[in-house]
Amino acid sequence: MKKRTLGKSSLEVSALGLGCMGMSFSYGPPKDEAEMISLLRAAVERGVNFFDTAEVYGPFTNEELVGKALAPIREQVVIATKFGFNTSLDPREDNTGKPLLNSHPDNIKKVADASLKRLNIDVIDLFYQHRVDTEVPIEDVAGAVKELIEAGKVKHFGLSEASPATIRRAHAVQPVAALQSEYSIWWRKPEAEIIPTLEELGIGLVPYSPLGKGFLTGKMETTTTFASDDFRSKLPRFQTEAMEANQAMVNLLKTIASEKGATPAQVALAWLLAQKPWIVPIPGTTKLHRLEENIAAVDLELSTHDLIKIDTAAARIELVGNRYPEALDALTGR
């Protein structure tokens, strides 16, 4: 597996990471623990060394799973986790009037200690603020993580779905190694201001949902529906009318894939990897054959002509539906 460095940090990781959330949270019931442990170790065997989790996934059970799976090979892997949600609430539900976020410095330090125990590690490689908490100055957040770094409990500081102004303010207190935000061929908003800011400051980008929460794989029908315990059932882009309209993007990927002898998922990931050398997508999966399909995208070369063709065609497609319900969308870009 090829390696990439996240911005100007010393954090070198596999060109493709593995998002672990869906193993325990959001996409239906938790998957079989033994099977997921086997999958996580299979990823390492195939060159993946960058694993993404969070305290809120479960909550807590995903960190425990990742910790158990990677304990025997800890020295070979980079583990990222996150703080910032009030874990007594479910971020997928309507929590109007309740404090969904908590990035107070004392809580950040409590979360770090708890995550270290659940992950069964001595130091967190990359510690993200999961969402920006406007009730807490970002300088205080960065300062708390700086203290954790000085104490040897954390190696690198990250942010998620933060605005350029917030990134700059945080970076001035404690250098930010990576920003994790949604970015894919069907969500390109980061290109306007986020990516130029990251490039200027030397910060890596870790795109989550690089396959559009499964939609860009081309495996969904326009009539596909989701169970109530699947987060996508609540997302505007996964309602029937939106899925029908947005099929045009999948058809574009299928066309390119057929020309390249690849799959739509591989084209979507290769497109992301071609944007910047410091971009490291973290597609999630619970299936070995999908993991192997995603990994193969690292070796899929898209020429300048291919990229221009994709961008030109994509620009003609008008995507339908917001990516999140209004309450959750309000937590992004702050």
Angle made by CA atoms 261, 262, 267, in degrees to the nearest 5: 130
Selected catalytic residue, list 57, 128, 183, 208: 57
- The reply to whether 120 falls in a domain is yes
Over the stretch 2-50, which tens digit does the pLDDT of each residue have? 999 999 999 999 999 999 999 999 999 999 999 999 999 999 999 999 9
Examine residue 334 and state whether it is found in any structural domain, yes or no: no
Q: For the chain, list the strands marked E by DSSP.
A: 3-5, 12-14, 18-19, 50-52, 78-83, 124-129, 154-160, 176-182, 204-208
Q: Could you give the CA distance from residue 172 to residue 157 in angstroms, rounded to a whole number?
A: 12
For residue range 135-160, what is the model confidence (pLDDT) as tens digits?
999 999 999 999 999 999 999 999 99
Residues of the chain below pLDDT 70:
none
Q: Is residue 76 part of a domain?
A: yes
Q: Are 33 and 2 in contact (CB under 8 A)?
A: no
Q: For residues 81 and 97, what is the distance between their CA atoms, to the nearest angstrom?
A: 27
Contact 124, 151 (CB under 8 A): no
pLDDT at 92: 78
Average confidence score pLDDT of the chain: 96
pTM > 0.85: yes or no: yes
Rg (CA), the chain: 19
User: Position of tokens 């939106």?
Assistant: 242
Q: Where in the sequence is the domain holding 207, given as residue range(s)? A: 3-329
208 is catalytic: no
Q: Nearest-5° angle of CA 325, CA 330, CA 334?
A: 150
**CATH number (domain holding residue 8):** 3.20.20.100
Residue 158, token pair as written in the block: 């990250």
| pLDDT score recorded for residue 6 | 98
Residue 182, by phi and psi: left (phi above 0), alpha (psi -120 to 50) or beta?
Answer: beta
pLDDT at 55: 97
| CA dihedral for 9, 10, 14, 18, sign (positive or negative) | negative
Tell me, yes or no, whether 108 lies in a domain.
yes
Query: Is 222 inside any structural domain?
Result: yes
**Total structural domains in the chain?**
1
